[in-house]
Amino acid sequence: MKLAILSDIHEGLNRKNTETSIMAALNRWIAANRPDVFLIAGDMTAGPEKSLKLLEQLQADFPAVRVLFVHGNHDVYAADSQKAYETLLAFRGNLGNGPAELGGGWVAVGDGGWYDYSFAIDGYDEADFERGTFGSFTWPDKLHARWPESDIGRTELYAEKLERQLRAHVGKKVILVTHTVPFRQFVQVKGDPSWDFFNAMMGSARYGELAERYGVKKVVFGHIHTRYRQEHNGIDAICSPLGYFPHEWGSASPDEEIASAVTLVELDT
């Protein structure tokens, strides 16, 4: 089984900045490579209605490809992020609806996840990270996402849900999918407080602990816009973001950048 993985497509901003249809380029890649499953680990675009429309169109364009998705922080930018979350559940491939059996004993378990400051640097307290402002810059989620819970509370809800699902699939070959980062080692520390402060918003060690405790085979995530595929404590860790044009791309061509960003995985079935 051929599994394709991509995150952080940011369709709206990249379409504007490249003056090119990102979805048309993505469609060309899928048509050429024909994966059995196409997994998007969050940040399709900004806002739930637009993300839902793009996901549904992608699935309609490729009915033979199973499109799976977890939301990113940008996908739930709304006055009511809980309502935005629920809007995105209308997409049948949203793992927030429940695990997806892939065949051959493989199952994808996941949801968007959030962050609990477990990757924070020293010198700041919880209130600092709740405000999310360093100097003149405020973390965009603080301006555009509105959950009924705190960041820590939201992270806990996802962790509890994921643990219930992992417990129910012990013995299966599990792919754990979140948008936010599960392991500290994938968070880039620059020694610059104006950058490192915001590592607190990158993810949660809770998700990595769950992956290790339940013996998952692969973890898939996004959010950090840095590409990784490496083993972490026996787990195949995959981060395949498209990222922002131009400064995070190695090519001026959306077709070429998508081809370099997508990770293809052959699952034994």
Q: How many CA atoms lie within 13 A of 140 on its CB side?
A: 9
pLDDT score at 216:
98
- The residue ranges of the chain whose pLDDT is under 50 are none
Predicted TM-score of the model (pTM): 0.98
Rg of the chain over Cα atoms, rounded to whole angstroms, equals: 17
List CB contacts of 259: < 8 A, sequence separation 6 or more.
Answer: 29
| CB neighbour list of residue 264: distance below 8 Å, 6 or more residues apart | 2, 3, 4, 5, 33, 35
What confidence tens digit (pLDDT) does each residue in 211-222 have? 999 999 999 999
Question: Which pLDDT belongs to residue 153?
Answer: 98
Q: Which helix (H) or strand (E) holds 235?
A: strand 235-239
Q: What is the pLDDT of residue 70?
A: 99
pLDDT at 269: 83
Per-residue confidence (pLDDT) for residue 133, from 0 to 100: 98
Q: Summarize pLDDT for 239-267 with one digit per residue, the tens.
A: 999 999 999 999 999 999 999 999 999 99
Give 243's contacts (C-beta < 8 A, 6+ positions apart): 8, 10, 225, 249, 261
Task: Please report where in the chains the tokens 């590409």 appear, as a residue.
Answer: 227
| CATH fourth-level superfamily of 2-266 | Metallo-dependent phosphatases (3.60.21.10)
User: In 3D, which of 54, 47, 50, 59 has the Cα closest to residue 23?
Assistant: 54
